[in-house]
Structure 1
Amino acid sequence: MKIEQIYTNCMAHAAYYLESNGEAAIFDPLREVDDYIAKAVNNHATIKYVFETHFHADFVSGHLDLAKKTGAIIVYGPTAKPQFEALIAEDGQEFWVGNCRVKAIHTPGHTLESTTYLLIDELGKEHGIISGDTLFIGDVGRPDLAQHVVADLTEDKLAKMLYHSLRTKIMPLSDDLIVYPNHGAGSACGKNMSKETTDTLGNQKRTNYALRANMTEEEFVSELLNGLTQPPGYFPKNVLLNIKGYESLESVLTKGKKPIEVKDIKDLIQDGSVIVLDTRSAAVFADGFIPNSINIGIDGNFAMWVGEMIENINQKFVLVTELGREEECMIRLSRVGYDGTIGYLAGGFEAWINEGFPVQTIKRIEASEITSHYSNWPIVDVRKKSEFDAEHVQGAINIPLNQLYKRIHEFPTTNFVLHCAGGYRSMIAASLLYQRGIQYFVEVNGGFSAIKETSLLPITDYVCPLTML
């Protein structure tokens, strides 16, 4: 039996490739499925099943395209009601993949249909569990997502379900099993995930707060719900796409891979029907950009921040990218269901410059300049509240990036300094502020990290965020 984790860092997402004796199965695939197919072809294997641990909220799964291209059977756990052809497993049902078996274990709690898959090798030995969002390394799945799409559910009810799933279905399993979760640190599907992406179940029983021995249901629910932040707004939309189905990725790319000339983009901007999404780095964007464009850099948590900051999942986009990265940007947008790309700026931003059209810039400063030139300006920190609470510049104002729209009135009405942790999120904020006419600020190159290293600003004492959960 061969089991391989396929990890995508920008999404903090893990898919899995299982193979035995010429047959393969894919667990929780991303939407771009050709790499999975190529892996099976190279190994002379046929993809037999696509196993889904649950209806995902943070990404659009590749189950439909993968099944269509390979003839594989899509498998969900008990209670799942997809609006397309799929096999709904019974609790305890086993599936043969070559000479190994996959056993479905219904583990509701993160969602109602959440299912853990137990891997049993060719010799009949239990090898590991593909746990989806039921069990992470250091954490468990948050129970406040399914309630957005299923009536009469509360996070409290789901948390209680998860408590019993863990204690009656997961914890009795052997300590030497390998835990293969769907996400790692950086995902919004949990609050305390480790940077490690696999572990033994025995070690998780010893170290994971949610698997603590003698933990009561009441204690579990309290600790699980404490510290949960508002889930990203695009999560319920992704769940519905995963339940109902979606357009093929090939069709999305065909519509989006169209170069648009500068003059035509200018007309689209004036029409107001599209967003110009500039995916270049923060530093390059600051030096010059198309007025009213939004900067979300491709070399970061791009898809997550698009979903977080652009409410309309059907929004039409024109992309400004580094030359040659147009398709990459479209694929990463599609991972969270944003399929509205209608084209990209032909010739890149240089073409806009060459036509002599208006350009805006954002003033970036070095952290060392704050005390010498901007010491009297208020400081706005757009990091998460947990980051800010752990350590920040004394007197700074915390307006987390994902709260920018509803707290726009809290920004200073006079000159201010803007920063995040390293400069990625603060440039997103800067572009959105410019759209709304707030342009009287400077943004810190290197963010809080640089401020700590090179400025003389007073910093609060560090408090480990884990102590605040």
Structure 2
Amino acid sequence: MRTWVNAEINKNIKFREMKIEQIYTGCLAQGAYYIESKGEVAIIDPLREVEPYIKRAKEDNAKVKYIFETHFHADFVSGHITLSKETGAPIVFGPLANPSYDAIIAEDGQEFPLGELTIKVLHTPGHTMESTTYLLKDKNGKDHAIFSGDTLFLGDVGRPDLAQKAANMTQEDLAGILFDSLRNKIMPLNDEVIVYPAHGAGSACGKNMMKETVDTLGNQKKMNYALRADMTKEEFIREVTDGLLPPPQYFPLNVKMNKEGYADIGEILEKGTTAFSPDEFEEAANATNAIILDVRHQNDFVKGHIPRSIFIGLDGGFAPWVGALIADVEQPIILVTDKGREEEAIIRLSRVGFDATIGYLKGSFSAWKDAGKDYDTITSIPAKELKTILSKEKAPVYDVRKETEYQSEHVLDAENTPLDYLNRYMAEFPKKEPFYVHCAGGYRSVIAASILKSRGIHNLIDIAGGFADIKKSGIPVTDYVCPTTL
């Protein structure tokens, strides 16, 4: 197994005439693909850092021939532009794409030879108007697999509300187009065709995705609500658009970068890996109005951190939470990391378009403490201590999990203030009396606590271990009650 930065080669399928590798990045719930046949390579939806693809091709004594993009991605910045520059391989989009750089805009049905294989363009608009599925045919011309981008996920389909402004359409219009794409282009394919989607469970690009990342089309026809054979277009539109949460604010900025271009990752790393002494760090943070982003483990942040710094740990859903909570990709960022993880943090920030990292604290937080600088802590208690407190008094408890998690089960009388939309609830937190904050396992609650403290709200207490430990402790919780329909 090959290790990529927070990426895992989850499927490695080899046949005599082909090699298909899915490079799945858990933090983004994103799948990129490496396809090789007879010394020719195609990359589909590559990550921002491209050196691993180039190295992989060299190891196979192969050359990157094509870089296929399924659409202009919103949730991450693709590496297509840099990879094309480094390898000379052309970028290929489907019909209706209008990038600001040189690319092949393929026609529906156009075929691209790759060794003994053929990759056929299936224009499948609906998620976006340029969305395209790539059909891989083997040396005998038999349909082998589809790389479906955000058109078809496992258990779901791409949300139709992200491109409505650009397309001058409603989400219902786009959902109707997606229905036609699925019925006319994908569902007629043979059941044994393998489905390789661009995302899995946890991505904000869909709502009901399965945890698996590879499946057969036949199984999806059975399991995926959106592929029901007897489904009308009206039912599809209603079900696909129901329950869509607002997309993260950074999504349009990533689309812009993918469409118009961006700086090479090497430039971002060169700037971001500037090492600051504690005094230089403090001066740089003040001079640039940079956000101090602490990416260590939450337990370390709780014990000590630079005042007003924001915690988003590398060992959680790092990049999506950065995008959701910082939002502005041009915001200067200065890092506090564990020693040796500086470059990883910069790369993972760049994956979602945050290229304005200006440097990091040399020697990590211990250097800050050793320099005699002021630092802050977060009061954190185990769930069993909260149980004792709640048995004696009615203390305010705030649950920062998603609304669906809260609705499923929550502490009696707890308020739901989802982390994604924490700014909306700032006025609701007590100003003086102690209050308690928890999430599912302890990661999101520390993010919330860091944001609250940065806003001057210090009378909070974190519940270590989150709802998982709360249930174990015996604190009374509610069971989900289905809302009454009048």
When normalised by structure 1's length, the TM-score is 0.97
Q: CA deviation at 1:151?
A: 4.9
Which has the higher mean CA deviation after the structures are superposed, 264-273 or 113-122?
264-273
SS of the residue corresponding to residue 185 of structure 1 reads coil
- Could you tell me which amino acid in structure 2 is paired with residue 103 of structure 1? K
**Percent of aligned positions with the same letter in both sequences?**
57
- Could you tell me which amino acid in structure 2 is paired with residue 434 of structure 1? K
Match of 1:427 in 2: 446
Distance 1:388 1:355 in 2: 43
Which has the higher mean CA deviation after the structures are superposed, 260-269 or 391-400?
260-269
Call closer, same or farther: CA 1:464–1:326 in 2, change over 3 Å. Answer: farther
> Given the alignment of the two structures, is residue 207 of structure 1 paired with residue 207 of structure 2, yes or no?
no
Distance 1:196 1:442 in 2: 37
Match of 2:403 in 1: 385
Match of 2:293 in 1: 277
- Could you tell me which amino acid in structure 2 is paired with residue 124 of structure 1? G
Q: CA deviation at 1:85?
A: 0.4
Structure 1 stretches (4+) deviating beyond 6 angstroms?
A: none
SS of the residue corresponding to residue 86 of structure 2 reads helix
> Given the alignment of the two structures, is residue 16 of structure 1 paired with residue 33 of structure 2, yes or no?
yes
SS of the residue corresponding to residue 392 of structure 1 reads strand
Which runs of 5 or more structure 1 residues have no equivalent in the other structure? none
Distance 2:482 2:26 in 1: 24
> Given the alignment of the two structures, is residue 448 of structure 1 paired with residue 464 of structure 2, yes or no?
no
Question: Residues 288 and 332 of structure 2 are in contact (CA less than 8 Å); yes or no, is this contact kept in structure 1?
Answer: no
Which has the higher mean CA deviation after the structures are superposed, 181-190 or 120-129?
120-129
Give the alignment partner of residue 416 of structure 2, picking from 376, 379, 398: 398
- Could you tell me which amino acid in structure 2 is paired with residue 397 of structure 1? E
Question: Residues 390 and 464 of structure 1 are in contact (CA less than 8 Å); yes or no, is this contact kept in structure 2?
Answer: no
Distance 2:395 2:81 in 1: 53
> Given the alignment of the two structures, is residue 437 of structure 1 paired with residue 456 of structure 2, yes or no?
yes
Cα deviation digits, residues 96-149 of structure 1 (max 9, x gap): 01110000000000000000000001122110100000000000000011124x
> Given the alignment of the two structures, is residue 165 of structure 1 paired with residue 184 of structure 2, yes or no?
no
Question: Residues 308 and 402 of structure 1 are in contact (CA less than 8 Å); yes or no, is this contact kept in structure 2?
Answer: yes
Distance 2:131 2:286 in 1: 46
Give the alignment partner of residue 214 of structure 2, picking from 192, 195, 198: 198
When normalised by structure 2's length, the TM-score is 0.94
Cα deviation digits, residues 270-291 of structure 1 (max 9, x gap): 4461111000011100000000
Distance 1:441 1:79 in 2: 51
Distance 1:44 1:264 in 2: 46
> Given the alignment of the two structures, is residue 248 of structure 1 paired with residue 248 of structure 2, yes or no?
no
Match of 1:46 in 2: 63
SS of the residue corresponding to residue 343 of structure 1 reads strand
Cα deviation digits, residues 361-411 of structure 1 (max 9, x gap): 001110111021355311100001111111111111001001111221122
Which runs of 5 or more structure 2 residues have no equivalent in the other structure? 1-17
Distance 2:132 2:174 in 1: 14
Distance 2:93 2:285 in 1: 43
Match of 1:238 in 2: 254
Distance 1:101 1:276 in 2: 49
SS of the residue corresponding to residue 65 of structure 2 reads strand
Across the aligned residues of Structure 1 and Structure 2, the Cα RMSD in angstroms comes to 1.4
Distance 2:335 2:139 in 1: 49
Q: CA deviation at 1:422?
A: 0.7
Give the alignment partner of residue 69 of structure 1, picking from 86, 100, 105: 86
Distance 1:106 1:38 in 2: 31
Cα deviation digits, residues 325-383 of structure 1 (max 9, x gap): 00000000000000011110011111100111101000111011102135531110000
Cα deviation digits, residues 417-457 of structure 1 (max 9, x gap): 10011111111110000011111111011111110112x32
Q: CA deviation at 1:464?
A: 10
Match of 2:42 in 1: 25
Which has the higher mean CA deviation after the structures are superposed, 235-244 or 309-318?
309-318
Which has the higher mean CA deviation after the structures are superposed, 39-48 or 369-378?
369-378
Give the alignment partner of residue 331 of structure 1, picking from 344, 347, 351: 347
Say how many residue pairs are matched: 464
Distance 1:131 1:209 in 2: 17
Cα deviation digits, residues 238-285 of structure 1 (max 9, x gap): 001000000000000011111011112222344461111000011100
Question: Residues 391 and 463 of structure 1 are in contact (CA less than 8 Å); yes or no, is this contact kept in structure 2?
Answer: no
Distance 1:464 1:448 in 2: 21
Match of 2:320 in 1: 304
Call closer, same or farther: CA 1:156–1:342 in 2, change over 3 Å. Answer: same
Which has the higher mean CA deviation after the structures are superposed, 323-332 or 28-37?
28-37
> Given the alignment of the two structures, is residue 260 of structure 1 paired with residue 276 of structure 2, yes or no?
yes
Question: Residues 159 and 206 of structure 2 are in contact (CA less than 8 Å); yes or no, is this contact kept in structure 1?
Answer: yes
Cα deviation digits, residues 121-180 of structure 1 (max 9, x gap): 1122110100000000000000011124x0512211110010000001110111010000
Question: Residues 314 and 345 of structure 2 are in contact (CA less than 8 Å); yes or no, is this contact kept in structure 1?
Answer: yes
Which has the higher mean CA deviation after the structures are superposed, 269-278 or 378-387?
269-278
